[in-house]
Structure 1
Amino acid sequence: MTEQTDKDATSVSSSISDRGEHGQVTAPPQNVRFAFQPLVNLATGGIVALEAVPRPHGGEMRELFRQAVQARKLTELDVELAMAAASEAAAGGTRLPLHINVLAGTIAYDIERFELLDAVLDEAGRPPHQVTLEVGPPFYRLDHEALLNGLGVLHERGYRLGLDGLGEGDAPLRLVASGLINLLKLDQTLATRAHAEPATLAFIESMVTFADHSGMQLAVHGVDTEEQLTALRAAGVGLVQGDLIAAPSRRPMSQVAVSSVLSELSQVQAPRIAARSAGPRVTDFLQPAVPLPTTATADEVRVVFADHPDSTSVVLLDRTGRPHRLVDRNRFLLAVTGPYGHALHARREALRLAEEPKLVGTHNTVVEALDLVADSGPDQMYVDLVVVDEAGRCLGVVRAGDLFRGVAEMKVEQAATLNPLTRLPGTDSVAMEIDQRLADGEAFTVSWLDIDGFKGVNDTVGFAAGDELIRSLGRHLTDLAAGMPGVVVGHVGGDDFLVVCDLDQLMPLGAELLDVEREAEGRPVTVSLASLVCAPGTVPSHHDASRRLSPLKSRAKALLGTSWVVGRSTSDQVDELRGTPPQSPSQSQMPPRRRATG
């Protein structure tokens, strides 16, 4: 929210519970107009929504709010501004999703007044699910139960809800984790420092991960320089807003003039959005849908395509905002521009030229969406997919071409991390897998495998034989992982490998791996395996898992022959499952000590 500080004043906070009378609103504030600033998807370079930013003709918004506080009409003014924003967006003819700023106190103490906003949106033909209410501070003096109840009411009506100004305001974490929030918007103070302060960038990266795991979207406001944008893209941020991309404009825009920074998205050397272990989600490539009611005529669809030259489809919605049919641009134009096409179709229902929409949810990954595309047949390969929320309402569309590009970029990123000798992923991929399992809260194991005396192998039979030994071990690990779903293997350099698997897979995997006799140019070779059992809640990160695994590896290397030791994150107990302890001369006459067997 551009005018964040205008709303976040102590005087406003101290009076926010002073509710105005719920009377008739005669007209929107006459001295306030609105500018519209786009929210841009970095994965596609397209606008996903427009935020309505209030612009008073004279003075500041702070003064307007101060007067409202004195008149005990703060919540009334807040909703009046929201209504005015919706009206101006309708007058501008935009069909893009709309973001409107509201005070948290209005939701907590005057939720009934939002019925007036409902009426304005209904008159404009805009369903609530196409509107995101960006909830702004102050929060600290509010009744949080009343706020949560109010948010629940708006959620039930279909509004999307965002938290504005995170990082500068006072939004409680309880609200962030309430399950009612669809969008988290980080404050411009974070964007300003992202490229210069490693701690700030690390915080943004953690918020990207949190939003992804929670099914929310994350946006960063106030991107004004190329350095900021580069840092945010490297952190995995997908939605940005700021003057570098596009300044607020009095006329709602449908596309941005792509700057030199955004044009780098198509270049291989440009920083890429970080790929998650399961691949990017379809929401990373979400485009606004161009909606029409199911009663629309073909001529109305033609006008929409003429007014929106970049749109590739029109979604026909039923009265509940759920997609009923989809009109593909190419198919439609072929039908209406052919011989007698206009005469045959213009005044008739567009449903005749529409098809069943292909629906995907916000939780689906790009790879899952491409499976749906592949099952559709070659004639449907490039038809848009419709993204729906948990209630089945249309959130937007995803173009098949963007999905293909997203998977290609993911594969390029994955290939860049592969070890050139074994073509196995490296440390980063295994670390992501460990952190994901830790977040899931399930028991699992991580194992470290290497070749005993590998330098001696290279020194005696040559580096070519050493490389082939490493390749053969990598192939064996790959084959084992292919036959045991859930096993993840990485080659972390030299003769070292990491293996992550479920707890019940550890014993059969270890046996399969260690029962094989290995050799290099006729020279017998043994290996050492160290495994750590990670119980839920006992290992904070992959860094800690690596730290605990290191002494287990040293203990396994101290044993003679092919060895295997297993430790636990819950105790200091270590089991030596394979290998022979070195014996001193005095020990050679003593009976062998009892060890665990496997």
Structure 2
Amino acid sequence: MPSSTVECGTSFEPVISRLIESCALKALFQPIVRLSDGAVIGHEGLIRGPAGGALESPVALFARAHDEELAVELERAAGKACIDAYFDGATNKDALLFVNYSAAAINSAPDRDALLLHADAKRLVIELTEQSRIPDLDVFAASVNAVRASGARFAVDDYGVANASLSLWAHLAPHYVKVDRYFIHGIAQNAVKFEAVKSMVSFANATGTLLIAEGVESPADLRIVRDLGIPFAQGFLLGRPSQTPATRVSESAAALLRSQQIAVYPATKHRRADVHESANQLEAMRIEAPTLKPEACNDDAVHLFNTLPSIHALAVVDSEGTPVALINRRSLMDQFALPYHRELFGKRACMQFANREPVSIERTASIETIATLLTDDEQHALSDGFIVVDDGKYVGLIAGASAVRAVTELRLEAARHANPLTFLPGNLPLGAHIARLIDSGVAFVACYADLDHFKPFNDRYGYWQGDAVLKAAADALSSACDPDGDFLGHIGGDDFLILFQSGDWYERISRAAGEFNEKVRGYYSTEDRAAGGIVGEDRFARQAFFDFVRMSIGGVAVRPGQLRAAAQLSKVASIAKQRAKRDTIGIVVIEFTGDGGID
């Protein structure tokens, strides 16, 4: 083979034209698989240079072609090589061939027409490569329409990177869009990639476009792609590029596709309020209250409080509008309610009874900022509230009660998505996963776990130690789960729910419960460990002896197609949990029957 790197000064020997003329380009084919049944519906044609040479890889090959200004000629030769090899040798006469072409090549009518003449157009899909720059989208759309008129189909390659944009998708209405491997590789562990691809699926459904996931290399990623509703995929897990077009996927890949086990979607953190939303929330709470100067007297403050009974505080600001203190209504009025205090202190400076270290927040602050201040060392903000500033200048007040209400609403909403202590999914993600299990008709086991004797322990050792025990329970249950198929959620308090698809779920949950029951003893004092438990109040406020905290687990086995609604599962799981609490081992499993009963 001729050398690919012969140089003379700054010029290159024209290697690409010789490779084209000598038919030295080799075609490879990677299968594209339909995920509903594992059928190979087509192949992407790939090109390689001379084996073992510097131009064997397509990246090096096309880089050299650009240097020699022969990129379009190389594309045309690569397309012809793929078409000749594919249509002469493919066993499946209905399989599609996807051929990569740049915008420049598609716009070049002679080159495009020559390519189409070599193929059964109805089996050909022209892929627009991601490197393509399209100066005039209307002109390019006319070229794409010419491709369609020939009977061939059109696809956008590597969507989500480079020039493959949403506007291009909307303007050209491709038959296929290939999702770039960047978004697919590791999607099972990456919530951001998951949400991005989920939005692509929604847009594809709205436009009638068929998606192809590129770069599928792991079973976990394959399950996510399939469950999101992407109809086709390609990648090393499904088949590597080969000179002979594959007619079927490997048995291991076929087994994965046959499996009814649904994927566990990667958890997303609860959305934080953005700047605009935070500003709107603060504006809704902000009070436009009057201010006092430092030299004002206490009688002035009392007069304002009497005139404006809804104002909880008054800010003291300097001549430049910067807050320097805050006067709390209740504190001042309580002072003036004492005998002779009005006469003694009325004419004195208002700074006498003011808080000289008020808590100020910027107008653009988030609710999370207020939550942090309330839970740190700024407890006086509960009664004083906050001064709102804009670039350090006073613009109003926020009452402590309003701030607490906003933070509480935020925490309640966040807890529906993820428990703030264990960070495990909350009720909304749990409900969504149960709905997916029901819709899929897959068999699963729901294990409802809670902690016996937890309240007496919490009363005896306090919330900090109680929280540590809850975290230990969450860790133990997490260790029992296969992250690709088992879903663990924290319902609240000491209640957890695991939705198992793992066949060895009983061994997993038994091991987790045993490990926790052993570890929890370390949270007791030496004296209480020696006594075998603690003395505390029972539900009737009577003194009683309580054993060590123990994990009880009620399991409900659901066969395919039995369950119709999550409410049915909740009722039966509660029954199983109550039975487990009375069981010596602490684990009870019951069978769910089709009519909603139990065996």
TM-score bracket, shorter-length normalisation: 0.3 to 0.5
> What TM-score, normalized to structure 2?
0.39
Which of the pair has more CA radius of gyration?
2
TM-score scaled to structure 1, two decimals?
Answer: 0.39
